[in-house]
A and B are shown apart, each in its own frame.
Chain A
C-alpha cells in the first residue's frame, strides 16, 4: 500500500456521461498530480495541485477539471465522455511543490480504470 488512495478502482460508463475520480494523498503530502495512461500514449501528465491551488497544467482536455480540497484530497471530473477517454487514471502525491533541493518523489496510487462504452 503506497498510502495514496484512489476510488473507484474500476468504472464502466457510457459515452456522454460524467464521472468523478477521487484521490486521497499520502499523509503529510501537499501536492497532488493526475496522470492518464492509455495503451498507446504512456503516462500523460494532466494537472498538479499544491495545498489547494493549481500549480501546473499538462495536456488536460477542457472536458476535464480537477480540484484539491482543504483536507488535501483531490477529485478529477471527466465529462462528455468519449470512447478515447478509456484509460487508467493515476493520482500521485508528493511532499511539496519543489523549488528546493530534494527528490520530492511522486508516490502513485493504484489507479482508477475507466471504461467508456
Chain B
C-alpha cells in the first residue's frame, strides 16, 4: 500500500518563506506531485519531481529525495492568495499499465498579514 504524511496545518506571514514537508512509503514509485487546492475548488498542478533534486518554478520550488521517501514544497514571497490546501501526491505504475496517483490529506496553509 501507500502511506503519505504531511502536516495538517501551517501558518506563515505575508512575504515570508514556508516549507511544506511530505514523507511517503510506496512501491513502484513513478513521480511525486504537488497540487494546490482552494476550498471547494479543483486541485491545480504546481510541480512534479521524478528524479532527486530541486525543481524551481517561479515562487514555488519542490525537492525530492527518493532514498528518503521525502519531498518538500517551498513557497517564497508569500501572498495572501497562497492561503490554500497543498496536496502531496505519489504516483505508482500498476501491473497492466495503469497509473495511480494517491494524495495525502493536504496541508492547510494560512497566510497572515
Contact = CB atoms under 8 A, between A and B. Distances in A.
Interface residues of B, number: 25
A99 B97 contact: yes
B70 interface: no
A33 B89 CA distance: 14
B11 interface: no
Interface size class of A (residues with CB under 8 A): 20 to 34
Contact of B98 (A55, A90, A110, A111): A55
Contact of A43 (B43, B45, B98): B43
Given A42-B106, A56-B94, A98-B93, A90 B99 contact: no
Contacts of A111: 41-42
A8 B42 CA distance: 15
A45 B102 contact: yes
Contacts of A107: 45
B7 interface: no
Contact of A105 (B40, B42, B45, B93): B45
A48 B98 contact: yes
A109 B42 contact: yes
B31 A43 contact: no
